[in-house]
Chains A and B, each alone.
Chain A
């Protein structure tokens, strides 16, 4: 277990290092001249000597590899550099913007999970074919709707016409409701699509037939047996879904005028404030890596059939699963299989 944990941690650090390298290459090493980008519209007014001075001040006259090594050293010390525009440390800017973003992403995750699983379960549980078709038609619409448009529609309905909720800002608690809904829609729709698909496969498993034959009711079959197995493949997407929510804040916070990380990103891109953009991308990669790590570590707790790689008990577990009754054996193979398969297809809901 410790060895596995160590290996996964090392992997996570590796991904973060590579993410830093990727953003460094994109932002600092692309053919464009960072100094001209940073100076913005003033660049044409500045003389070459002034540009050189600026370059020196920012340490951009050093060789690229030295900037890169220095940058990594800074990041390791928790220093993400300073904003070009305001001169404030990027880490402070991120920390200041985090609470507002956390508010809507946390609420957004709850809404997405509740809504997504709700729709998926209702669609398979219902006896009405019409209702099932209507429910299954919802998720594709949800993923197709542009986030900025949906946010504006919410403002029109709930703020301007019904006057229930505030349209803009992040001062009050109620102001977080509409942005969270806007943020949750695509993620919730993706969850609904994943779950309804995996529920349909699970319900065709032989062990579900066995449960029906035992005389279990509809609800018991769905909630006590099928859902637990069906939820597992969807769980591997948690990292992608959380990442999607985080990047969704760029649009949502712009629409609702909230001063969170998304708005910070949008203004930084507009001002071409490279250190802030780099800090945000690194932060997003960190969130993705941590969430994926946590899900991977929790996975064996949720599905006892899957043992963490490197443990000798894998074969024993499989034998035990077989001994417990053949019912769970095939789905065990499927769960393990789909786990890796989903990863290799690189789906991004």
Chain B
């Protein structure tokens, strides 16, 4: 994997724009959602109506990926491990949508069943990255002063090391396997997430309604939990979606290199890696699983941009 892929425009644009909304707007919005006039369902419906067509297509694709991860047999009923030797290395056809591999196994079934492992690692990585990044970012942004300085210098250093190399160092120490790969990818993304969250918390902390809450004599912890955090979560959703793309890319790259899933268990990156030995004769073994990875990352990035833009418009 080359540059750990984030959509730079999505992040670079994050700070600044929300200055346009006033404290009163946010307060009203928070009030409205608390009273239940627009619940989570209403929000999703509103979001769907506002999203452009390509973003909705992206959401549909990600939903399909999710179904493939949770209930793979619904999409591909066949056996992911048993092959029919007579039908080995056949090109894509109606019977075998993605063709068959060197052992006559149906590639489509293997890609669908491989989704679970890839997505599980990606979700684990995002969870770890968000949790550790959030702790650092909120500490830095809310406590400020020397804590802020220390956290920022630490992230400076971590950002000076390309995240793929950072994950490789972590894998060397932790050992191989899909869980370790997920932990490594998650920890390597923490510094960047901490930066974004810090910027957001600083912005909210300095707003008038937070000042009002402090002046009213609330405990700092209460101000943090009741006022600062709920109002800083908007960009986190967009960020998590963005990280999904990054994590899928990083995880499939690391399993392509051979540090993740062990064959014959199907996983997106290792499927491409196995197909590499048959590059000259059987193009579908590398091209089609890779296409699925690319589409998933593209969809996650597209949806992240749409959610980010929508969040900024309504806030």
Shortest Cβ distance from A69 into chain B, in angstroms?
A: 19
Shortest Cβ distance from A177 into chain B, in angstroms?
A: 16
Shortest Cβ distance from A201 into chain B, in angstroms?
A: 10
Residues of A near B302 (CB, < 8 A) are: 140
Residues of B near A182 (CB, < 8 A) are: 2
CB <8 Å contact, A160 and B279: yes
Residues of B near A266 (CB, < 8 A) are: 257
Q: Which of A1-9, A20-28, A223-231 contacts B (4 or more CB under 8 A)?
A: A20-28
**Contact A147-B163, Cβ < 8 Å, known A250-B168, A270-B258:** no
Contact partner, A348, options B156, B192, B199, Cβ 8 Å? B192
Q: Which of A46-54, A90-98, A238-246 contacts B (4 or more CB under 8 A)?
A: A238-246
* Chain B residue total in the interface (Cβ 8 A): 69
Q: Which of A59-67, A206-214, A284-292, A310-318 contacts B (4 or more CB under 8 A)?
A: A284-292
- Closest chain A residue to B273, Cβ basis: A148
CB <8 Å contact, B174 and A32: yes
Instruction: Tell whether B175 is near chain A: CB-to-CB under 8 Å.
Output: yes
Question: How many angstroms between the C-alpha atoms of A148 and B2 in the bound complex?
Answer: 9
**Contact A190-B172, Cβ < 8 Å, known A147-B1, A246-B162, A248-B1:** no
Shortest Cβ distance from B34 into chain A, in angstroms?
A: 30
Residues of B near A251 (CB, < 8 A) are: 1-2, 253, 256-257
Instruction: Tell whether A162 is near chain B: CB-to-CB under 8 Å.
Output: no
CB <8 Å contact, A27 and B298: no
Shortest Cβ distance from A78 into chain B, in angstroms?
A: 20
Residues of B near A126 (CB, < 8 A) are: none
Q: How many pairs, one residue from A and one from B, have CB atoms within 8 Å of each other in the complex?
A: 231
CB <8 Å contact, A193 and B160: no
- Near B by CB (< 8 A), chain A positions 100-139 give none
- Near B by CB (< 8 A), chain A positions 3-21 give 15, 18-19
Counting chain A residues whose Cβ lies within 8 A of the other chain, the interface size class is: 35 or more
- Near B by CB (< 8 A), chain A positions 166-199 give 182-183, 185-187, 190, 193-194, 197
- Closest chain A residue to B4, Cβ basis: A348
Instruction: Tell whether B72 is near chain A: CB-to-CB under 8 Å.
Output: no
Residues of B near A288 (CB, < 8 A) are: 160-162
- Near A by CB (< 8 A), chain B positions 252-269 give 252-253, 256-259, 269
Residues of A near B175 (CB, < 8 A) are: 32, 37, 272
Question: How many angstroms between the C-alpha atoms of A273 and B198 in the bound complex?
Answer: 36
Contact partner, A30, options B5, B174, B195, B276, Cβ 8 Å? B174
CB <8 Å contact, B173 and A281: no
Instruction: Tell whether A300 is near chain B: CB-to-CB under 8 Å.
Output: no
Question: How many angstroms between the C-alpha atoms of A155 and B286 in the bound complex?
Answer: 11
Shortest Cβ distance from A246 into chain B, in angstroms?
A: 6
Contact partner, B166, options A187, A281, A346, Cβ 8 Å? A281
Instruction: Tell whether A80 is near chain B: CB-to-CB under 8 Å.
Output: no
Question: How many angstroms between the C-alpha atoms of A7 and B158 in the bound complex?
Answer: 21
Question: How many angstroms between the C-alpha atoms of A277 and B171 in the bound complex?
Answer: 10
Instruction: Tell whether B294 is near chain A: CB-to-CB under 8 Å.
Output: yes
Contact with A along B3-29 (1 / 0, CB 8 A): 111111101111110000000000000
Instruction: Tell whether A301 is near chain B: CB-to-CB under 8 Å.
Output: no
Sampled A-B contacts (26; CB under 8 Å) = A23-B161, A26-B173, A30-B173, A140-B7, A140-B298, A143-B3, A143-B7, A146-B293, A146-B297, A148-B1, A182-B2, A183-B2, A190-B3, A240-B3, A243-B160, A246-B165, A247-B165, A248-B1, A250-B1, A252-B2, A255-B276, A270-B259, A272-B172, A281-B161, A345-B15, A348-B159
Residues of chain A whose beta carbon lies under 8 Å from any beta carbon of chain B? 15, 18-19, 22-23, 26-27, 30, 32, 37, 140-141, 143-149, 152-153, 155-156, 160, 182-183, 185-187, 190, 193-194, 197, 237, 239-241, 243-248, 250-252, 254-255, 265-266, 268-270, 272, 274, 277-278, 280-281, 284-285, 288-289, 292, 341-342, 344-349
Nearest first, the 9 A-B pairs at minimum CB distance are: A248-B2, A244-B3, A346-B195, A149-B290, A247-B162, A144-B298, A18-B157, A247-B164, A144-B297
